[in-house]
Structure 1
Amino acid sequence: MKNKLLMLTVAMSCVFGGNAMALTKAEYKTQKDQISADYKVNRDKCVTLKDNAKDICASEAKGMEKVAKAELEAQYKPSAKHTRDVAMAKGDAAYDTAKEKCDDLAGNAKDVCVKDAKAAHVKAKEDAKVAKVAADTTVNKAEKVNEAKKDANAEKREAEYKAAKERCDSLAGAAKDTCQADAKAKFGM
């Protein structure tokens, strides 16, 4: 009897605990409005800045808003898609801000910065795709996850190779050739 009572208590706490985590429509709307208000405050802080610092600040504010909205949606309607959307929003926000930061650079340093940002963005996107496939509960899940990981690794390697190749462009002659050969060997291109 004690075991049945204990199991019933645990089961009921899980049921009520799950409902406590979900948002009501009113809570969702309130939090969504708060996210918009926070964005406006953060964006307005950027007005006093100049040049690229202003652009970086605006990009960070917009990124925080996108991530917060994606997280709110994932909390309101939990699903593998919304979890992936959160990861994508974080990756996109980081990429957009990194590109803005690259604008302070010039020449090859800027090109390398942009390629590195792109490689990080590709990694975030591919990791999100793998996570979404891993969350799938259909038949052949393991096979699909392995295929997604294989595709993701190929995309990441290619993006990292492009960034490494861009670093080689600052060199000349034999040093450049050696650098490019090393990059090809390292990333299997």
Structure 2
Amino acid sequence: MNFKQKLTAVCAVACMSSVFAMTPAEHKAAKDQISADYKAAKAQCKSLMGNAKDVCEKEAKGREKVAEAELDYRGDASERHRHNLAKAKADAAYDVAKEKCDDLKGNPKDVCVKDAKAEHVKALEAAKVADARAETNVAPAKKAADVSEARKDANQNVREAEYKAARERCDALSGDVKDKCVADAKRVHGQ
């Protein structure tokens, strides 16, 4: 089971139980369980070496942060906590992806990091658009304008991040081929 599948499973279980209010004792027990799960996951990483160990530790830390954000959301299903949960998921995935790039060297590593950043930006921007959609106590016309503006900003930021990743891929090339690659990247990503 890969990191995203584990993350999805943890979130699915947590979401199913979010319907019920938690007592302070249940909240503390859940917090203690999250801490115990993190310690157990981190202990499993000790048998690994090099970057595999670093990736394992980032995955464990990411699961812990997501579980804590999910717990906060279960305790108070506010938009702030929903946004924090989406951000925790995006940050966890980004940290793991970036750590996996450390196995690479040179331009392939740079491309890997830029691709990870592009995915991170995409996830964060999706959360911002979702926030705009979830606005309450706002006139429908204002809400529609806010969603439209959020989408426009999100699309621009995602295109920019994807352009940087595409441009980084071009750096491995030279001469006319590189120039064509850069021109194609600009055209495709609207830069």
State the TM-score, normalized to the length of structure 2: 0.87
Partner of 2:78: 79
Offset of 1:103 from its aligned partner? 0.2
Measured after TM superposition, the shift of residue 129 of structure 1 is 1.0
Deviation digits for residues 2-55 of structure 1 (CA, Å, limit 9, x no counterpart): xxxxxxxxxxxxxxxx99622122111110110011000001111111111110
Query: Offset at 1:176?
Result: 0.3
Larger radius of gyration: 1
How many angstroms apart in 1 are the aligned matches of 2:115 and 2:143? 32
Corresponding residue for residue 170 of structure 1: 172
Superposed, 1:171-186 pairs within 5 Å as 171-186=173-188
Distance 1:128 1:29 in 2: 28
Change (3 A) 1:49 1:30: same
In the other structure, the counterpart of 2:116 is: 117
Alpha-carbon shift at residue 81 of structure 1 (Å): 1.2
Change beyond 3 A, Cα 1:20–1:159: closer
Counterpart amino acid of residue 111 in structure 1: D
Letter in 2 for 1:51: G
In the TM superposition, what whole-angstrom CA distance separates every residue of 1:50-82 from its partner, at most 9, and x where no partner exists?
A: 111110000000000000010111111001111
Unaligned stretches of 5+ residues in structure 2: 1-16
Q: How does 1:1-189 map to 2 (within 5 A)?
A: 21-137=20-136, 138-139=138-139, 140-189=142-191
CA distance in 1: counterparts of 2:112 and 2:95, whole angstroms: 12
Identify unmatched segments of 5+ residues in structure 1: 1-17
1:84 to partner: Cα distance: 1.0
Aligned residues: 172
User: In structure 1, how many angstroms separate the alpha carbons of the residues matched to 2:18 and 2:130?
Assistant: 25
Q: Cα–Cα, structure 1 residues 160 and 142, in superposed 2: closer, same or farther, change >3 Å?
A: same
* Percent identity of paired positions between Structure 1 and Structure 2: 60
Query: Following the alignment from structure 1 to structure 2, what is the Cα–Cα distance between the partners of residues 146 and 115?
Result: 27
Offset of 1:130 from its aligned partner?
1.0
The two structures, once aligned, show a CA RMSD in angstroms of 1.4
Runs of 4+ in structure 1 off by over 6 angstroms are none
